[in-house]
Chain A
Amino acid sequence: MSELIIEGLCASVEGKEILKGVDLVVKSGEVAAVMGPNGSGKSTLSHVIAGRPGYEVTGGSVRIDDLELLDLPTWKRAEAGLFLAMQYPTEVPGVALRDLLRASARTSDDPEEIESRMQAEAERIGFGAQFLERPLNVDLSGGEKKRNETLQLGVLRPAFAILDELDSGLDVDALRIVSARIEQATEEDGLGVLAITHYSRLFDELRPDTVHVFADGRIRESGGPRLATELEETGYERWVQPAAATKPSPALSDDPFADPLG
């Protein structure tokens, strides 16, 4: 039994503060859903947790139990059990999935075992064997990339996975298969999941324990699974600050992007 603990996490990009004190705890076997408007900082949260270059962490902590992840290079975080399924997986020309999995500190040194896990996972999510030979994400369709991320999750068996819009790009059948695979991992391996999404259809198979509204760089409200369907109906208006309320009148504004009718 482990915990992924995010506490007071603040981060900025190019001097602009994006994460403004994120607090969230995910326990082994649990699914925490994070939903929020475009541009609110959800992907930023996932990148900062994984240690992507280009972000400045200005405060807070991210731990797996007692281990501070923010002090570690990305690969050590992964070795410690963190996995990130990216919203836009990066193309890595000339590098095959097999090479990546063999080089990972999370897999054994036995190429045969990696091979058999790869084949087994591909079969579980109906991912054609031909994709295993292709360079990572190069010329893969949007949905194929997401299946590829899921396959890697299956082989690497992380303790915690951040899924950044894993559902985007997947057709309805693929979504069902992929989300069922993640649900199984929570049950069989005690995987803890932080699932970022815009649509509650992800939760037909992958059952969330908690749902969190993420807006303007932090968690604004938390609730049970019903909150997800509620959000789909009502949207995020309640949490998105109306610009006019906090801004001076247009005549006095030096913000070129201010709404002139505000």
Chain B
Amino acid sequence: MSVIAFAKNWNGKFKNSTFELVSYTKALANQLNTNMVVLSIGEVAEEELKLLGNYGADKVLTVSDPQLNTLTSRAYADIVAKAADSVGAEVIVLSDNNSGKAIAPRVSVKLKAGLVAAVQELPVSLEPFVVKKRVFSGKAFGHVQIKSDKKILTIAKNCFGLVKNPCDITIEEFAVDIDTNLFKVKIVEEEEQKDKVILSDADVVVSAGRGMRSPENWAPVEELAEVLGAATACSRPVSDEGWRGHEEHVGQTGKVIAPNLYIAAGISGAIQHVAGISRSKCIVAINTDPEAPIFSVADYGIVGDVMDVLPRLTEAFRNSKS
């Protein structure tokens, strides 16, 4: 028996969420009194793989075929399932991100292994195996029992944190036949903004709503984000109106994020908006209306006009840095 974590890389690099995944899986292995194996797919330099050892990984399997440098969910799922079988894994753990959402369900079908997505913490009990997850878009938590022998979890971002646990690491190539039939979707073009902070990874997010009144008024939002090294986000009507791109929309029907700090400027705090931000560690609200529902979910609030408060807040952050 063992547990296996799939450590996704982005252009050969891991993210903090990968290290959180390894930290979580190590703790789970300890809870189950077993060992952990980490699987990496695609080309990743040895130096980068060694970083996994800082969070408790002592054994890494890697499939470093360059064909696998971009995610092909079918081929990845095939490899994850084979690796899990080869190490006799009872539990397979992935991150709850785009790739985890694409791969985990396929592995579940392949191995007939019960899957619970976006788990919040270590299992509540091992016999029976029960995990806790967010349900009803954050309005409640559900305790879900996995009945199958093999189990798959995807873990929600920022649910566990990073746990340093330096280990001597061995890196092994995992030999597997790659079925080229599984590459039927072809990526013909790829665009990536390299200079922007990515919303789903950001520790700090500055978000703005209809209270900004017009798309021309976004400069104070962007300036504050810049000073904080934050990503920018928005409410749904703002992206529906085309004031900002869809990729910035947070909430029930947009992105669900869990930054350390979420600053909501001119956002009323409708229940569907809150569904996407309620896992933030700290929420700051700026709104002219003292009765706005956002204040009932915020930790700190300022009643005031965004056009007036945002520049002042930017200034205060700037001063505190120098």
Please say whether chains A and B are actual partners in one complex.
Answer: no
Residues of A within 8 A of B (CB): none
Residues of B within 8 A of A (CB): none
